[in-house]
Structure formats: C-alpha cells, structure tokens
Amino acid sequence: MDADEWVESFARCIMCLLGIVGNNWLMFRSLPGSKSQLKTNDVLLLNLAVSNLITNYMVDLPDTISDFAKSWFLGLTYCRIFRFCADLSETSSIFSTLFISVFWNQKLVGSLKRGGAPIRLDNLRLVAALLGGSWMVAIVFSIPHLIFVSVDEGDEADCMDNFPSPMAHQVYDILYLSLANAIPIGGIVFASIQIVATLLQNQQRIKGTGAGPSTIYTGAHEGPVQQQPRVVVAPKAPAKGGSSGSSGQVRAAKSVVAVASVFLVCWLTHLLLRITSNVKTSVVVVEVASYIAASYTSIIPYIFLYGVKKLTCTCR
C-alpha cells in the first residue's frame, strides 16, 4: 500500500472506531432503568443507535479490513450480508432521524407555544408502529441485495451489486432514492426549519418581554419629615418556557438542528453521488459515497449525547 492508500484506510479505521464507541455509548445511555421509565425520545435514540451499529459492525468494519487486505476476502455469502446490511441500516437510520426531528419539533412547539400541551408523537405505541413500519420498508429495499450481488474477481476482488440488467438497477435506484431518501430528507428539512423558526420566535419574545426588572413604588411615608419614596425592585419573572425542563428541550432541539445540518450535508452529497454513479459507473464515486455515509454514523451520536445531556457518564 502506498502513502495515499494508508491515509485513506487509516481515516476509515478512525471513523469506524468513533462510530462504534459513539453509537454504543448512545445505546447504553438511552436504555431505561425500568419499564416505567421508558420514554419516547429514548426509544427513538435507541433505534438510531442500533441502526448505526449495524453499519459500524456489519459494513464499516469488514470494509475497513478489506481496505487493508486490498481485496474482498470474505466470500460471496458475506458479500450478500454486507450489501443487505448496508441499505438496511442506511434506510433505518434515515427514518430514525426523521422521527426524531418531527418529535422534537412537536415537543418544542408544544412547550413554547402551547404551554406544554401533549404531543401526538409522544406515544410509545405510535412510535413503535412507525419504527416497525420503517424497518419493514428497509427490509423490502434491502432484499434485492441478497440476490443480485457478486464478487468481482479482478486484480482486487470487490463486493458489488449485479442486477440482471442496467434498466433493473436504475428502476430500483429511482424507487429507493425517492421513497427511502428524498421523501424522508424533505421531512427532516421541513421539521428543522420549523424548529429554527420556533426558537427564533421564542428568543424574540423573551427579548421583548424581558427588558429588565420591574420597579414598584410603594409611596412616601407620612410624617413631619418628608421622605423619599421607597423603591422595591422586583425580580424579573422567568419567561414562559424558561424553566429547566423547557431549557433542556431547547438544548435538545438545537442538537436536532445540528444533526439535521450534518445529515443534509452528508446525505445530499451521498444522494448526488449515487445518482452520478448510475449515470456513469465510477469506483471513486462509490468509494467517496461510502466514506460520507460512514462519517455521518460516526458524528451524530456525540451530537445527540450532548443535546440530551448524556455525554458524561455518571458512575457511582
């Protein structure tokens, strides 16, 4: 391996390690202490962590090993599993990010605009049904990769898709990229814009109502000696939604916006590269797309851990 290949393989190894540590951390910190403590947000984060760990263990790790080995040495059977898990975890991760974005959008609006009114998505049965449906969609789109794959026996053996015809491959990619990528990405963008708009409106409202402490005049004392009026400075009342619970929700919502920003940069680039590879097959384009996908799964667990204040470990 030359210097450039060593750098690429080392970068892949670092991203894989960061993803494994971060997503395991997110998973264990999202586990409830008991069934009664199970919360909707923890279920969503747990599902996201599991989705990303499939990528880390079943896709990134073997891909990193094959980079160092300079060939695909795991055989056709694992090639099928590899391609299946790649799209399965990718689709589930995208839908998990969508549900988290919508959840915190509703949570923030319910807290800041409707005085903490209950939200529709804060329902464990509904969330379980949505997550189950997203896994079914992910499985349906991943099944073709169990069938139409092959190991390219060239100078450097590689695991790749092998659809019956270019037309079949294009039809699959159009359906997959539109239903499992474009539509969820649009939902994430819409929810993120609403979160940002709500945060800005709340900030403007706080500035408008919190100019300073109010002054109350209690009047002058009666008597032979004229005294100056006594002034009592009343503490400024906390703004609506400014409690510790609401501030935690604002912090979490901001982390969702940060994740959505990283998500859009990574997945829009990934989406464009996949479309480009359909027009003209390029090993470099496919490789870059895989690096971008790996970078997403290695970054977002730490942003969510910071947003929900679980980045530190409270060990007793």
Residue 272, CA distances (Å) to 194, 310, 316 in order: 25, 34, 48
Cα–Cα distance, 169 to 167 (Å, whole number): 5
| Dihedral in degrees, nearest 10, Cα atoms 167, 171, 173, 177 | 150
Position 131 pLDDT exceeds 90:
yes
pLDDT, tens digit (0-9, with 9 covering 90-100), for 143-182? 999 999 988 776 667 888 889 998 998 899 889 888 988 8
**Helix 40-55, helix 124-142: angle, nearest 10:** 20
Domain boundaries, the chain: 3-208+240-307
pLDDT, tens digit (0-9, with 9 covering 90-100), for 183-218? 998 899 898 888 888 888 877 777 776 544 444 344
**On the CB side of 152, how many CA atoms lie within 13 Å of its CA?**
12
Cα–Cα distance, 206 to 209 (Å, whole number): 5
Residue 244 banded pLDDT, cuts 50, 70, 90: low
**Helix 124-142, helix 75-112: angle, nearest 10:** 150
Share of the chain above pLDDT 90, in %: 25
Cα–Cα distance, 275 to 286 (Å, whole number): 10
User: What CATH number matches the domain at 3-208+240-307, 1.20.1070.10, 3.30.70.2860, 2.60.40.10, 3.40.50.1390?
Assistant: 1.20.1070.10
Does residue 84 or residue 35 have the better pLDDT? Answer: 84
